[in-house]
């Protein structure tokens, strides 16, 4: 019984496709995904991308500055690693990964000394990313507007290393972080004033009142949306407003909230039972 002509053609096409696929695979193993060619048409050597190319040690480094400091092309793009060099690049990445730099550089039991000048400087720095005192802080880096998972991944617990400080959330998790927190330099739209106004918020308090000398200071701000005191005053907080005793967890056991700032307005005035009828 002879094979139909249509079946022969299908087999031939399949063999050709498989041959091209195998040839392309082995060709890709020998060449990088992105070749760098000089003016004369010759191929220049391509350096394997290293994790240290992205480890600048500072926040917000521009691609051009990274390029000049790492001997990269002027456009700041790291050359692609050839497929054949993936295994070597992975081993190199493991050798150069600076895991020690991710550890906290703060001793939780170390003595904390804060001068009045450092406190005022910290308060001024804190105001830079807020529209007014009590406003939600703006986001100093680009964010993914489609998901809150990336926000929670860093800010649920917070962290602090030698070159990075990640404050943790001062309130319970609320979905849609960008409903209150907006990018300070938005990428998706140009920043503009919705309507010109001369609104000026109240000045941020520098300290809370004390009942007597050396008494624990009263909390000088509302605790609404600031229920986690250690988010600002803990290990990952700015130095000027850090607490000198972060090992104590129940802050309001000693520091009383403000009676005027933390009042709760009731829709209906509560009714009380009449007092006892005392007869002499």
Write out pLDDT tens, residues 11-48: 888 889 888 988 887 776 665 544 444 444 444 444 44
Q: Tens digits of per-residue pLDDT, 78-115?
A: 677 777 888 887 777 666 655 555 566 667 777 888 99
**Contact, 66 vs 72, CB < 8 A?**
yes
CA nearest neighbour of 134 among 170, 158, 86, 184: 170
Q: Tens digits of per-residue pLDDT, 123-175?
A: 999 988 888 888 999 998 888 777 788 888 888 888 887 778 888 899 988 88
Q: Tens digits of per-residue pLDDT, 168-226?
A: 899 988 888 988 998 888 877 776 777 888 888 888 888 999 999 889 999 999 898 89
- Distant-in-sequence, close-in-space partners of 157: CB < 8 Å, separation ≥ 6: 168
**């503009």: which residue's tokens?**
192
CB atoms within 10 A of CB 79: 19
């Amino acid at each position: 019984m002879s094979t139909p002509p249509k079946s022969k053609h299908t087999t031939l096409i399949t063999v050709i496709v498989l041959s091209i696929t195998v040839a392309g695979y082995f060709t890709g193993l020998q060449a990088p995904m992105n070749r760098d060619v000089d003016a004369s048409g010759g191929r220049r050597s391509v350096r394997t991308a290293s994790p240290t190319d992205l480890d600048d040690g500072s926040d917000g480094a521009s691609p051009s500055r990274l390029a000049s400091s790492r001997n990269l092309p002027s456009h700041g793009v790291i050359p692609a690693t050839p497929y054949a060099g993936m295994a070597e690049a992975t081993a190199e990445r493991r050798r150069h990964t600076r895991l020690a730099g991710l550890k906290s550089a703060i001793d939780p039991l170390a003595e904390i000394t804060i001068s009045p000048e450092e406190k005022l400087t910290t308060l001024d720095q804190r105001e830079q990313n807020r529209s007014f005192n009590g406003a939600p802080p703006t986001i100093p880096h680009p964010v993914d507007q489609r998901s809150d998972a990336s926000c929670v991944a860093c800010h649920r617990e917070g962290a602090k290393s030698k070159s990075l400080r990640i404050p943790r959330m001062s309130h319970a998790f609320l979905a849609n972080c960008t409903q209150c927190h907006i990018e300070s330099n938005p990428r998706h739209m140009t920043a503009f004033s919705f309507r010109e106004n001369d609104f000026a918020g109240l000045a941020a308090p520098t300290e809370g009142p004390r009942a007597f000398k050396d008494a624990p200071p009263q909390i000088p701000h509302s605790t609404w949306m600031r229920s986690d005191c250690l988010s600002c005053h803990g290990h990952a907080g700015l130095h000027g407003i850090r607490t000198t005793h972060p090992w104590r967890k129940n802050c309001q056991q000693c520091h009383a909230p403000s009676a005027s700032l933390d009042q709760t307005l009731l829709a209906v005035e509560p009714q009380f039972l009449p007092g006892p009828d005392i007869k002499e």
